[in-house]
Amino acid sequence: MNTFALEIWDDESTLVTFYTVRMEDNDLSETDKFMLKFKGDAQYGSALQEMVSLLLEVMGEEQGAHPAFFSRRENWAVALPPSKARIGEITLNYPEFPLRLFCYRVNDELVILFNGGPKTAASAQGSEDLNMPFLQANEFARRIGKAFDDKLIVVDQNSRVITDFQGNTEIFL
Amino acid sequence: MRNSLARQILEETPNETRQFVKRYGELVARIYDLLEEKGWTQKDLAAKLDKSPSEISKWLSGEHNLTLRTLTRLEVELGEDLIQIPKTRKFQVNSTKVIHLEFARSNKNIPMDGGGYTDWKSQTSPVKSSVA
């Protein structure tokens, strides 16, 4: 995987700052790609609206990045030290909600969003449109987790910001 | 800085959708917190509800629509409200009350301060009086 930027996706909410990743040779972040893909879509547009409302209104203004909203994927922990396995997926837990958005939950106030897609099989790997985002999310999470472990990046709790070890907000991993 | 795509999507989202997601979020977080407070796993909850763990997993993971009956069962087991609905109906109280008293009166006039009842049991003609 090439170098990617770790950048703010949305920091206007009261309780949570959402980060995303953007591949070096891309103008769009992975999360914006996800949003654009399903915005206005006849099949998944409503589900996307619910997901965005969950992110910005429920998490962002009322509950924070509450663990209840993140389904942890134990099999992903294979790529990460168990103590740092914070990768999960955001979805709404009611029958047949189709979309999954992969993410890395740093804490109650910081979430890094990746890409995702519709779940059409029992597992992410088995879902045709989810398999690649799943593999990529694994790699993003592995490199972000390692950067935190090695203290190359740190969280400034006062400002809900991720910086490099020198305090710079521009981060490439 | 609000993400511009997210802003557009939110602006297009119907109020009903936003309200549903809000209630969903409140409920999910509440159930999670109560289970954690009590130190219960889903298996513990299943045992208390006399259900299989897989059925409880379906309840809590979205494979089963939570009905009002299911929610109230959860409330009873968790010992806490999951839903609180504000009361909006105002009960009107009449400004005057009519109380009917039945008491026995002695041959003497009944004083207004309530005295004079020591012999009431011996009286045979109860008197009804209305007090407004």
| Of A148, A163, A160, A153, the residue nearest A64 (C-alpha) | A160
Q: Where do the structural domains in chain A lie, given as residue ranges? A: 4-172
Q: Higher model confidence: residue B100 or residue A151?
A: A151
Tell me what ipTM this predicted complex has. 0.86
**Cα separation of A90 and A67, whole Å?**
10
Which residues in chain B have Cβ-Cβ distances shorter than 8 Å to A99? none
**pLDDT tens, residue by residue, A140-167:** 998 999 999 999 999 987 779 999 999 8
> Cβ neighbours of residue A154 under 8 Å, at least 6 residues apart?
A148, A162, A163, A164, A165
pLDDT at B128: 45
**Cα separation of A39 and A48, whole Å?**
7
B22 and A58 in contact by Cβ < 8 A?
A: yes
Strands in A108-169 per DSSP E: 110-118, 153-156, 161-164
pLDDT at A59: 94
Residue keyed to tokens 């309840």: B59
B62 and A63 in contact by Cβ < 8 A?
A: no
**pLDDT tens, residue by residue, B17-71:** 999 999 888 888 898 899 899 998 878 888 888 888 777 777 776 656 778 888 8
Report the residue of B2, B9, B61, B71 to disrupt the A interface, i.e. the one with the largest count of A CBs within 10 Å: B9
**Is residue B73 within 8 Å of residue B49, measured between CB atoms?**
yes
φ and ψ at residue A102, rounded to 5 degrees: -80, 150
Q: Where do the structural domains in chain B lie, given as residue ranges? A: 10-78, 99-131
As a CATH number, domain B10-78 is 1.10.260.40
**Cα separation of A155 and B124, whole Å?**
89
Both tokens of A48, joined, read: 């996307």
By Cβ distance, the residue of B1, B6, B29 closest to A8 is B1
pLDDT band per the 50, 70, 90 thresholds, residue A45: very high
Which residues in chain B have Cβ-Cβ distances shorter than 8 Å to A35? 5-6, 9
**Cα separation of A168 and B12, whole Å?**
36
A12 has pLDDT over 80: yes
Q: Are strands A17-23 and A110-118 parallel, antiparallel or unpaired?
A: parallel
The chain-wide mean pLDDT, for chain A, equals 85
Residue A65 CA, distance from chain mean position = 11
B2 and A10 in contact by Cβ < 8 A?
A: yes
pLDDT at B130: 44
B21 and A92 in contact by Cβ < 8 A?
A: yes
Residue A11 CA, distance from chain mean position = 14
